[in-house]
Amino acid sequence: MNTAAENNPARIIKLAIMAVGGQGGGVLTNWITDLAQRSGYMSQATSVAGVAQRTGATIYYIEMTPQSVRQPVFSLMPAAGDVDILIAAEMMEAGRGILRGFVTPHRTTLIASSHRMLAVSEKTHPGDGIAYNDKVIEAAAKAAQRVIAFDMEKIAADAGTVISASLFGALAGSTALPFALENYEETIRASGRGVDASLAAFREACNRATNQNINDAPEDEHTQPITQDVARGPDKLLHRWQTLQDRISNLPEPVRDMAYSGLKKVVDFQDTNYGTEYLDHLIHVVHIDESNGGHDRQYLLSVAAAKYIANAMAYDDVIRVADLKTRVGRFSRVANEVGVNDQQVLRITEFMHPRADEICGMLPVGLGRFIESHPRLFRGLDRLVNRGRRVRTDSMFWYLVLHTLGGMRRFRRKLLRHDIERAHLESWLETSLSCVSSNYELAVELINNRRLIKGYSDTHTRSLSKFDRVMSARTLIESADDAAGKMKQLRDAALADEHGNELDQFIDKYAKDIK
Amino acid sequence: MAERSFKKEVQQLKIGKGEVFRGEGILAITKALLECGVGYVGGYQGAPISHLMDVLADAEEILSELGVRYQANASESAATAMLAASVHYPIRGAVAFKGTVGVNVASDALANLSSAGVTGGALLIVGEDYGEGSSIMQERSHAFAMKSQVWLLDPRPNLPSIVKAVEDGFELSEATSTPVMLMVRIRACHVTGQFTARDNRRPPLTCAQALDNPRRDTTKVVLPPYSYLQEQDKIAVRWPAATAYIREHHLNEFFGGANIRIGIVMQGGMYNGVIRALEQLGLADIYGDTRLSLYVLNVTYPLVSDEFLAFCDNKEAVLVVEEGQPDFIEQAFGAMLYKAQSHTRLFGKDVLPMAGEYTGQVLLKGIREFLERSAPELLPAESIKASRNVEDQVADIAKVVPMRPPGFCTGCPERPIFAAMKLTQTNLGEHQIGADIGCHLFASLPPFGIGGSTMGYGLGPASNGAFGGSASKRSISIIGDGGFWHNGLSSSISDAVFNQSDGVVMIVDNYYSAATGGQDVLSSRADNKSKSTKHPIAKALKGVGVKWVRQIDRTYDVKKVRDILEEALTTRQKGPKVIVASSECMLNRQRRERPIRNNAITQGKRVIKQRFGVDEDVCTGDHACMRLSGCPSLSVKRLDDPLRDDPVASIDHTCVGCGNCGEVADAAVLCPSFWRADVIHNPSRWDLWLARQRGKYIGWLQARRQRNRLDLTGA
């Protein structure tokens, strides 16, 4: 330690709070300064309030030292390498604290809630833009003297309060501050609002923190045990289901899990015969896979096909949506999510916006095609149906409407949408499989491209256009080195932005390369 | 009603001599004003001064008991103009606003005020919004003090020093007939601490008494020949009076001094940071005792030449710690040393950065370098190791941690306006869009990306002035209700009307000056005891001659906002097209309604609470809804399903049921994944009966279908 500190044992405890605007960092700051005062410490708190607080990253800073005759000179902002306790109200904010140098080995106690509040950039990404916690948790373990991390948001929410209470509890449990537990609780009581809920969250978090040993690895994201239950239904259907399952057990081992998930999805979507169709498609791929060295490649092609054939077959049409919205268990799921009890009444409103396209998709192939090929007729139909509809699925009338639409499952194979989807599936599979013998990895990537197709209406159309662009770029890269890698790159680019601008740049680049 | 209430805290303003005041810096300043016998106060909100305005509003009763006039001014310019009361009358007045933007707006009045000079103490409290967390352009208010010859105080950032600066400011102002600017940095405004109070003083002459006994003095008018005389007076009389006062009353402070060879000069506001850096270098203790000699400028303008030169006498090297640019103080000191033929070496922006906030790291690095170059023997043998070994691992997560700029709050009524604007641009193509200052400026960030310029508060439509002519596309400009009343009506709207501009103006009316903390403005819907509210914006627009005005009373109706905007962009009508999109700021609305609603529920009244949700098996994970929202309660989550690649939408319990998700899904024809749940608390018997009947009927239909179907949920 430096000489000044040796000559003068008085030391300042430095505590920084990294939070997201609106999380209640100000409340926590007030509690801590109040706690310090109760415990015979002088303290100073600062923050940067204002517009920066609106949902953005914010920081609060507190310095404390035992009461003395002389007034210490407190600093107004944390400095890198000079923070004793860092409280992060969200995991990425802990990461930001580490990045800013506020977490130092042999010194800093890092108290972090392991939950995530996603930043806008993580949410708007058309693919999966969520940043992974594990790197931050790893860095925290190295950067801090001690890490106390668990889901403090959940503890707070369960107690019906906000995260400041559980963060305060974790701080108490960490014993990083030389203050008595009674003073913490007294501070909460003195604040006078929602005291019981705050105390409950405080105590729960305090216990959790106490039990988390020094440098205990923060808990992993909750892994749910896979519960193997059974299918239910009429005997005849259960028998068919068993037959389908038996076919899966004949598949190569690496393919079975995915095939089972896929089978479940398509049967749930349509019926057991549809499951048979699915397995026929899949087994066709498995044969091709086997004859092209699939065994040595862990049947990558078949696994990809098991996944994406199922997704392609269980397309998102009106019937599926109506079916899902009217099923047994859906009401209780919603009730559960919003927390409705027996003394309350729940109403559910759905937001639907059908267009002529969707209506034609629900018509028999011939009729649907006829309307689509007559623009005036099509426009007329569109004028008739194309508007937002707020549908009350808890009401008798609208429930019956959706129930009936869901019941159209029986005719689905004869409808236009099914015809379109089936053709699309076949052409995609054929294209993808055509290059298995020449480039196995590329074939896998072509199968994987099916990931690009998602959304409804315009979003769906846009995703189809991206899919087409990526698929047709095959000819540009086929003969290049690492064609599979390039194909994956194209797909990632397609997922990077809404309109596929990055994708177009890559395509242009590859087109130039080929010249 | 402002976002934060200080009703409890303002009671401290009443405490008397010897009692200890505890609280935020901004509250301490208010207390100091009362102790100084201030006669009138005013200002304009904006971080970090918002809390001061909120404190004043909440303290109005206490103020009026003391005979103090409080004015929530329409702008910083209006506030500064109000200081005219101190020109002829010996009344102390104080106004507060944020720097530098507020000082920019105030500069016209400020120049007139300082030219005329004052009789009563005139204090401008400027909350300097510079550095981390700042929401404005990075400049210094210092330049305005120099240009208009206003004395500038920059006290050490602790409550006793700030409180003393208020008193010194008034005294200095009166001793030199010059207005004084008290600059307090953003963190110092919010710093907590304590000081020993004195009794509040009634103003010796109140504004009411002055009004009954008017005075005038033609020499105070800024008009030839007096304007020339005023300039001479500034230099010949006021300046020397100021330097003499500063020296005699020891407004600047000296510390340390065991080592007189090396010194540091700093702005008062930098003192705590400098001490901390010296402590880290082993050259100071936590009480600020140090071997170096320190010269602390609690007054940064004017600089006292002989005081500085005396400090430098026999010193080999002096470091100037001056935050921000240009380096006015360092330049002045350099000139002083040169003219005095001094051999003292001057360090400053060569070891410290020219631009940017002087944070702990910056000061530590700069001061260490200064000492290495001027007195290396002072540095500890083993220079402290800032744990650099961690850096490699840290670099790893730099790519992982996402940026988190501020954005619209949960349920914000401005979100649907910009969702509608984004949809309009999808239909009609990209447009030239001018933005303004306020929460609505968040629209320029993802996911909306709307608007590419800000030219000042209330100047959004004016910034599109050059695009007022006719073309196949029209310009769009955005302005908030705060900006509209601040400056917008005169500078933006009348400009457009007079010039027959063809552009479209979107007025975002959320019932408050929301970005600054929810203060009332003229068009606020709230009942305000002492201010006149409920003046419709649309009426003001028509009053200045806008012909095409559309009022939208529920911004959450995305389709309606989109349709009206499209109409504005395509109508044949000439002249400005102005849309007033009004819905209450959700932050304030929740604060107002939630307790009432919860109370009603406890009392057994029938209350409907709404919340949105997503059917995760219907959501395909394309995130199109996110790109029209950015709501904190609408997020995405990964599913535990091997068939799904991309996370699906998910709405958490913080949802306030504003309706944007459903409206956007409908207007943009996105997807049918969203649902709205209406939970009826304390339902009536009719509600319960109906729910039972529906339950039976739906249950029967469901059971019927389930009989012929496989249930694989458990498989």
**pLDDT for B461-486, tens place per residue?**
999 999 999 899 999 999 999 999 99
**Under 8 Å between Cβ of B677 and A346:** yes
B212: CB partners within 8 A, 6+ apart:
none
Residues B241 and B259 in one domain: no
- For B261-292, give one letter per residue: b (16+ CB within 10 A) or e: ebbbbbbbbbbbbbbbbbbbbbbbbbbbbbbb
Q: Which residue has the tokens 């963190």?
A: B187
Residues B209 and B291 in one domain: no
The pLDDT value recorded for residue B2 is: 73
Which residue type is seen at B689?
Answer: W
CA distance B706 to B715: 16
Indicate yes or no: CB of B703 within 8 angstroms of CB of A95: no
Q: Tell me the ipTM for this assembly.
A: 0.93
Lowest pLDDT segment from A78-87, A218-227, B3-12, B699-708: A218-227
Residues B199 and B296 in one domain: no
| DSSP assignment string, A105-153 | TTTPEEEEE------HHHHH-SS--PPPSHHHHHHHHHH-SEEEEE-HH
Residue B373, classed as helix, strand or coil, is helix
| DSSP assignment string, B483-539 | HIIIIIIIIIIHHHHHTT---EEEEEE-SSBTTTT-B--TT--S--SSS-----HHH
CA distance A197 to A169: 12
pLDDT band at B257 (very low <50, low <70, confident <90, very high): confident
B621 part of contact set with chain A, CB < 8 Å: yes
- Is the pLDDT score of B449 beyond 70? yes
Q: Which residue has the tokens 């419709």?
A: B536
The pLDDT value recorded for residue B392 is: 61
In this complex, the residue of B47, B386, B445 whose CB is nearest that of residue A51 is: B47
Neighbours of B209 (CB within 10 A): 14
- Is the pLDDT score of B80 beyond 90? yes
**Mutation for A interface: B296, B387, B388, most A CBs within 10 A:** B387
pLDDT per residue as tens digits for the range B473-523: 999 999 999 999 999 999 999 999 999 999 999 999 999 999 888 999 999
Indicate yes or no: CB of A351 within 8 angstroms of CB of B626: no
Average pLDDT over residues B260-265: 92
- Is the pLDDT score of B396 beyond 80? no
Residues B231 and B299 in one domain: no
Indicate yes or no: CB of A136 within 8 angstroms of CB of B400: yes
Indicate yes or no: CB of A76 within 8 angstroms of CB of B711: no
Q: Which fold has domain A3-211?
A: Pyruvate-ferredoxin Oxidoreductase; domain 3 (3.40.920)
Name the domain boundary from B214, B247, B280: B247
Quote the pTM value.
Answer: 0.94
CA angle, corner B156, sides to B153 and B157, nearest 5?
110
The pLDDT value recorded for residue A22 is: 82
φ, ψ of residue B319 in degrees (nearest 5): -105, 135
B176: CB partners within 8 A, 6+ apart:
B151, B238, B239, B241, B242, B245
Name the domain boundary from B186, B213, B247: B247
Residues B530 and B464 in one domain: yes
Indicate yes or no: CB of B394 within 8 angstroms of CB of A143: yes
Name the domain boundary from B192, B227, B247: B247
In terms of Cβ atoms closer than 10 Å to its own Cβ (0-12, 13-18, 19+), residue A132 is exposed
The pLDDT value recorded for residue B645 is: 95
By DSSP bridging, strand B40-43 and strand B93-99 are parallel
Tokens representing residue A116 in the block: 């995530």
Is there a domain that residue B3 lies in?
no
A-B contacts at Cβ under 8 angstroms: 417
* Chain centroid to CA B329: 27
By DSSP bridging, strand B292-297 and strand B93-99 are unpaired
Instruction: Tell me the pLDDT of chain B averaged across its residues.
Output: 94
CA distance B51 to B32: 15
How far away is chain B from the Cα of A183, in angstroms, using its nearest Cα?
19
Residues B240 and B261 in one domain: no
Average pLDDT over residues B59-74: 95
Enumerate residue ranges in chain A where pLDDT < 70. 1-9, 49-53, 213-229
Give the domain CATH number at B69.
Answer: 3.40.50.970
Residues B558 and B465 in one domain: yes
Nearest to A111, CA basis, from A80, A81, A86, A83: A86
How far away is chain A from the Cα of B130, in angstroms, using its nearest Cα?
11
Tokens representing residue A510 in the block: 């590859």
CA distance B232 to B689: 88
A233 part of contact set with chain B, CB < 8 Å: yes
Indicate yes or no: CB of A50 within 8 angstroms of CB of B50: yes
The pLDDT value recorded for residue B179 is: 98
Tokens representing residue B371 in the block: 């000492």
Structural domain harbouring B624: 606-706
Q: Which residues of B touch A135 (CB under 8 A)?
A: 396-397, 400
Residues B486 and B546 in one domain: yes
**Under 8 Å between Cβ of B507 and B537:** yes
Residues B81 and B155 in one domain: yes
In this complex, the residue of B409, B679, B712 whose CB is nearest that of residue A55 is: B409
B158 part of contact set with chain A, CB < 8 Å: yes
Domains of chain A by residue range = 3-211, 441-515
The pLDDT value recorded for residue A5 is: 39
In this complex, the residue of B157, B360, B622 whose CB is nearest that of residue A79 is: B360
Is there a domain that residue B383 lies in?
no
* pLDDT > 70 in chain B, percent: 97
Chain A residue whose CA is closest to B702: A328
B393 part of contact set with chain A, CB < 8 Å: yes
- Is the pLDDT score of B236 beyond 70? yes
Chain B residue whose CA is closest to A388: B666
Nearest to A80, CA basis, from A93, A64, A99: A99
Residues B176 and B27 in one domain: yes
Question: What is the number of domains present in chain B?
Answer: 4
- Is the pLDDT score of B243 beyond 90? yes
B365 part of contact set with chain A, CB < 8 Å: no
Residues B175 and B26 in one domain: yes
- Is the pLDDT score of B572 beyond 60? yes
Give the domain CATH number at B363.
Answer: 3.40.50.920
**Under 8 Å between Cβ of B316 and B345:** yes
Residues B87 and B109 in one domain: yes
